[in-house]
Amino acid sequence: MKRALVFLLVLTLALGLFALEAGAADNFPMVTMDDSKDFTVVKLTNNRESMKVVGLTSDWQKVVIESQNLIEWTTSEPNVAKFVVGQQEVNSVSGTDTVTVVMKGEGRATIKATYNNDNNKSVNSYIVVEVNAATPSVSNITTEVVGNATETFTIPNPNNPNKTVKLFSLNDVFGAAFDDADVLKKDASAMHSLLYALEYYYDSDGTDDIDDPSWDWDWVSTNVTVTTEGAFVQKIGSDENYYNQQDDKYYGWQYVAKPSGGVYADPGYASSIYELLNFRS
């Protein structure tokens, strides 16, 4: 069963990348998470995460939401993630810009913060709760990288079509100090596939097996920058996310995926939590 990933440098709306000021106003076109790490959360059962929603102006300034009575928080899967209010666990919270989320059990959930004015602005946090089940390797994954200056390539190539992406720690790639809090630890993800494809293409050292003693991560560790607790690709080679003042747009790395027999689509959440095993939505 073939599954394909394409990482490409495109125009994309990348909220949470900017160091923004906060103020008090309610005339904003969007809402966002105050801390960019809360867009993607990977935790174990019983862990907790505090989240805050703020307004976002058209010039990317964060503003405090004054009308907090219009804010509503919901969870898509209460058996995976719920809210803690005092000593109680509840499925929704209203009237506050800040909540505490507790991880209840294995699976995925979407935490949504909605500002219920005329336009019902909302923002999502994608939650993954991992347990002990693991999928350490996945076969039949095709990865393509398309940038501006970056050389376009596809792994595997027609002469060697049977590449297997193995689970590995991003600390082995970027060093022990690297924060990989938002990367799957039990299952190989699209982020693992990207980093593997880049190292294999540019500097494989004569092997396609990351467990081979001759394999190292020197090209990726030198030429790739991953931020936001391992969930965001900031730079590949000389292609770095940037703001273009001429057209007033932000350009950044994004990915799309195609399961066997499907069509390419934007999964809507970070590649670091996109499981290669089943392309779970």
Instruction: Provide the pLDDT for residue 133.
Output: 63
Instruction: Provide the pLDDT for residue 22.
Output: 43
The full set of domains in the chain, from first to last, is 3-14+132-273 (no CATH), 30-130 (2.60.40.10)
Enumerate the β-bridge partners of residue 81: 103
pTM of the complete model = 0.82
Provide the residue-wise pLDDT of the chain in tens; the chain has 281 residues.
567 888 886 644 333 333 334 444 467 888 999 998 999 999 999 999 999 999 988 777 899 999 999 999 999 999 999 999 999 999 999 999 999 999 999 999 999 999 987 677 999 999 999 876 667 788 888 889 998 888 888 887 555 556 788 999 999 999 999 999 999 998 899 999 999 999 999 998 899 899 999 999 999 999 999 999 999 999 999 999 877 777 777 788 999 998 877 788 888 899 999 988 765 54
Instruction: Provide the pLDDT for residue 132.
Output: 66
Q: Please enumerate in sequence order all residues whose Cβ is within 8 A of that of 3, keeping only pairs 6 or more positions apart, or say none.
A: 140, 141, 142, 257, 258, 259, 260, 276, 279
Instruction: Provide the pLDDT for residue 19.
Output: 35
Q: How many Cβ atoms from other residues are within 10 Å of residue 107's Cβ?
A: 16
Instruction: Provide the pLDDT for residue 210.
Output: 94
